[in-house]
Chain A
Amino acid sequence: MNGEDSFINNIWPIGGGKGGSGKTFLTGSLGLLLARQGLRTLLIDADLGAANLHTVIGVAHPGRSLSDFVNKKVETLEDAVTKTPVPNLYFISGAGDNLDMANLVHTQKMRLLRAISKLPYEHILLDLGAGTSFNTIDFFLISNTGIFITTPEPTSIENVYRLIRSVYLRKIRQVLREEAFRELLQEAVMRSNGSSAKNPEDLLRILKDCDPVQGGLLEESLRDFRFKLVLNQLRKQDNHQIGTLICRICEKHLGLRVHFLGNILHDDRVHDAVCRKVSFLEKYPYTQTATDLREFCHRFLTDREENPPVGPSIEKTKAEILMTANC
């Protein structure tokens, strides 16, 4: 770490659409596992207005929080970071914020997103809120490497598809100019005889029809995503293939790369650990669920090496390869 500008951090937004699917639990557990491996990890509670990550990781009264940065009580976001009892694990709480924190204005949000991407940590995990509000989706789109989490229940699967499509639509909106997007929507309404377009993938198809160049570019930028999926709270009697199948559907029908990172078995003791406000991994390290979490963490790290996020890091490796080739 020499200077903030040259530092490349990995930002992992964790979202799932439905409440209670285990976003906060997974963020806390993954953060702990990464920190134990000696990786400097920062957890950010981005569940604005309904924060509770601090409870899961056992910091009952964090001194500072995200709202201090938003309201400019502290100079930099770094000042809002709290230490946790675990070495290498840092934390920005969302607790104790103003009640109107959930309705972040656009400029505040942009300032926050920029500040997050400059933080000097190896891994930054963003615990997002349920739902598909703009705030959640914009946080999700802070990097190309979001993690979706769902349970095998239809309600949860329904919401995760909803979130994936919302992210997709938001991305289209980001890539196209304002007026181009409006034209596209009008074209879509015309084609479907008055009813507004339901699916973002239809929008992409229409765009490719009207403007193949722009459509191709958009498709490329959608291919840049390297999403991941975790299936949480799997019961023994559930179909263990569901996660893989969901990824195949996304690949085939949305053209999005979603990599499946594994199942995590349901365990009633998770509830116990949360009630006692202790870490599940520390209290029950020898359960199947804890093993699943460790395996998930392992796959999470190795998967990253196989598909490095597109950006400066790739150019760096290319340069390194060239250098070694020249020697």
Chain B
Amino acid sequence: MKSFEEQNYYEMLDLTTSASPFDIRHAYKTALQIYGDDAPASYSFFSRDERAGILANLERAFLTLISDQGRIEYDRSLITAGLMQENEQYRSAPKKPIPLFDLEETGNVTRMVFPHTEKAIIPPAEFPVIRDIMSKDSLTGQDLRCIRMELGISLEQIAEIIKVRRGLLTAIEEDRCEELPSMLHLKSFLRAYAEYLRLDSNEVAARYLKQVSGGLQRAKES
């Protein structure tokens, strides 16, 4: 039997080396129930100094293991000391939420088939017209409209899916700066629009904004 001071941090907290941060928090809470200053379970078992020493050790163990960097370094020191195997390390695999309405991204579950949108599944970059437009440095509303027409998508279709008024989309496509919403909204609308067309949404938004920024500035001043 090892004395408490000789135990490694995992042993102090009664954990396996692959314990998750949730387990670590739980184990520390339990340990405080055992060793805490007012814990009835260990009443009179330890002298005051022993208890203070144990609590200090536990705190150090908890703070080391709960910090990602600290734990990696501690694990490495255990592995080099031969007290732990490489494959026993904890690997975090955070769960992602499963999208409810995102029909294209069906999570990691089986990919669903949508025969009616099959056409849109052809990558837009396959179309020569779109490729030409996308190679430009800045995009006008006319360019966006061209892409949309090339893919055979009506304005109504987009408006319904991305929940943006048709009039606004027309204003975007016609570069009518005075009718455009605030920069923040415009950016998010553009991204939604581009995403629906399966384009690089960040690129499209940035290039379009670059083109209209001068017009927007003027519209604001007037």
Q: Which residues of A contact B41 (CB under 8 A)?
A: 157, 239, 241-242, 245-246, 249
CB distance from B25 to the nearest CB of A (A): 17
- Cα A288 to Cα B120 in complex, Å, equals 68
* 0 or 1 for each of A79-101: is its CB under 8 Å from B? (1 = yes): 00000000000000000000000
Q: Which residues of A contact B40 (CB under 8 A)?
A: 152, 154, 157, 239, 242
* 0 or 1 for each of B35-52: is its CB under 8 Å from A? (1 = yes): 000011111110100000
- Cβ-defined contact, A249 with B44, below 8 A: no
**5 tightest A-B CB contacts, nearest first:** A245-B41, A255-B1, A158-B44, A154-B43, A157-B43
Contact for B33 among A154, A219, A245, A252, CB less than 8 A: A245
The answer to whether A118 has its CB under 8 Å from any CB of chain B is no
Extra A-B contacts (6), CB below 8 Å, given A245-B42, A252-B14: A157-B44, A198-B47, A245-B33, A246-B42, A252-B4, A253-B4
The answer to whether A205 has its CB under 8 Å from any CB of chain B is yes
Chain A contact residues, majority secondary structure: helix
CB distance from A93 to the nearest CB of B (A): 34
The answer to whether A300 has its CB under 8 Å from any CB of chain B is no
* 0 or 1 for each of B1-12: is its CB under 8 Å from A? (1 = yes): 101100000000
- Cβ-defined contact, A154 with B44, below 8 A: yes
Q: Which residues of A contact B44 (CB under 8 A)?
A: 154, 157-158, 161-162
- Cα A248 to Cα B39 in complex, Å, equals 14
- Cα A211 to Cα B87 in complex, Å, equals 37
Identity of the chain A residue whose Cβ is nearest the Cβ of B39 in the assembled complex: A245
- Cα A181 to Cα B53 in complex, Å, equals 29
* CB contact list, A248-283 vs B, under 8 A: 248-249, 252-253, 255
* CB contact list, A127-158 vs B, under 8 A: 152, 154, 157-158
Number of interface residues of A (CB under 8 A): 19
The answer to whether B34 has its CB under 8 Å from any CB of chain A is yes
Q: Which residues of B contact A198 (CB under 8 A)?
A: 47
- Cβ-defined contact, B4 with A241, below 8 A: no
**What are 11 A-B contacts defined by CB distance under 8 Å?**
A152-B40, A154-B43, A158-B43, A158-B44, A239-B33, A239-B40, A245-B41, A246-B41, A246-B42, A248-B14, A255-B1
* 0 or 1 for each of B92-119: is its CB under 8 Å from A? (1 = yes): 0000000000000000000000000000
- Cα A239 to Cα B41 in complex, Å, equals 9
- Cβ-defined contact, B45 with A249, below 8 A: yes
- Cα A272 to Cα B45 in complex, Å, equals 34
Q: Which residues of B contact A219 (CB under 8 A)?
A: 1
CB distance from B4 to the nearest CB of A (A): 7
Identity of the chain B residue whose Cβ is nearest the Cβ of A164 in the assembled complex: B45
- Cα A255 to Cα B1 in complex, Å, equals 6
CB distance from A206 to the nearest CB of B (A): 12
- Cα A158 to Cα B47 in complex, Å, equals 12
- Cβ-defined contact, A249 with B43, below 8 A: no
Identity of the chain A residue whose Cβ is nearest the Cβ of B12 in the assembled complex: A252
- Cα A248 to Cα B45 in complex, Å, equals 12
Q: Which residues of B contact A245 (CB under 8 A)?
A: 30, 33-34, 39, 41-42
- Cα A183 to Cα B63 in complex, Å, equals 42
CB distance from B160 to the nearest CB of A (A): 57
- Cα A240 to Cα B54 in complex, Å, equals 24
- Most chain B CB within a 10 A radius of its CB, from A157, A158, A239, A252: A252
Q: Which residues of A contact B34 (CB under 8 A)?
A: 245, 248-249
- Cα A154 to Cα B39 in complex, Å, equals 9
Identity of the chain B residue whose Cβ is nearest the Cβ of A153 in the assembled complex: B40
- Cβ-defined contact, B45 with A253, below 8 A: yes
CB distance from A243 to the nearest CB of B (A): 9
- Cα A50 to Cα B30 in complex, Å, equals 40
- Cβ-defined contact, A241 with B33, below 8 A: yes
- Cα A162 to Cα B14 in complex, Å, equals 25
CB distance from B212 to the nearest CB of A (A): 65
Q: Which residues of A contact B3 (CB under 8 A)?
A: 205
Q: Which residues of A contact B39 (CB under 8 A)?
A: 245
Contact for B45 among A161, A205, A241, A255, CB less than 8 A: A161
Identity of the chain A residue whose Cβ is nearest the Cβ of B45 in the assembled complex: A161
CB distance from B37 to the nearest CB of A (A): 13
Q: Which residues of B contact A154 (CB under 8 A)?
A: 40, 43-44
